[in-house]
Amino acid sequence: MVQIYDIRDGDQVMKWEMQKPVMTMDYASPLHWRNRGKVVIAESDAISLWDVGSLNPHALQSVSSSGRQISALHVNNTDAELGEELGRGLKIPKVGVNVHSAFSRGDSIYIGCTSLSSATKKQSSAQIQHFSLRKQRLVSTYFLPESNAHHHFTALTQVWGNSNLVMGVCGLGLFVFDS
């Protein structure tokens, strides 16, 4: 069961039944408003678009996660951000990294992640990966300075970016890069 509350007064504003459990994520919310009564939900084995504006909320579309864990989710809250009626998507492989946060702006997607260094397998390396929907590929990677800190301190809990700069915040502070 999904229950949504108003953060201003704590009143329940929505409630509906789901067949599958909602995913839990360390650094991201499993529920994002799309628009016009539509919600995107990370379920145990899929990402689903729900119509919650009707009398009986129901799933409109579902994309399987193919047995892989969803670690971060971000949804643009507009219909035609890129000027296309049907939207556009990009499946981003996360080879050798753990994703902690995601942010999108226009056709850019920024992923905050950590990877284990291949030399020691003990030291984690934090980075922000910038993907382009239009180019359908990784555009650039921004590495945080190496640190011997515990991986909980290096996990990028929030990332942002635009055409001028890229930023990421973790337990070690705020890091800003020219883009």
> What is the model's pLDDT at position 83?
42
pTM of the model: 0.59
Q: Is residue 112 within 8 Å of residue 156, measured between CB atoms?
A: yes
Average confidence (pLDDT) over 77-86? 46
> What is the model's pLDDT at position 80?
40
> What is the model's pLDDT at position 10?
84
Of 75 and 161, the one with more pLDDT: 161
pLDDT tens for 7-48 read 788 888 888 888 888 888 776 778 877 777 888 888 888 888
Give the C-alpha separation, 177 to 144, whole Å: 9
Reported as type and span, the H/E element at residue 152 is helix 151-154
pLDDT tens for 100-111 read 888 888 888 899
What average pLDDT is seen over the chain?
80
| Closest among 143, 142, 100, 148 to 124, alpha carbons compared | 148
86 pLDDT exceeds 60? Answer: no
Residue type, 132: S
Question: Per DSSP, what are the bridge partners of residue 168?
Answer: 159, 175
Residue 153 carries which DSSP code? H
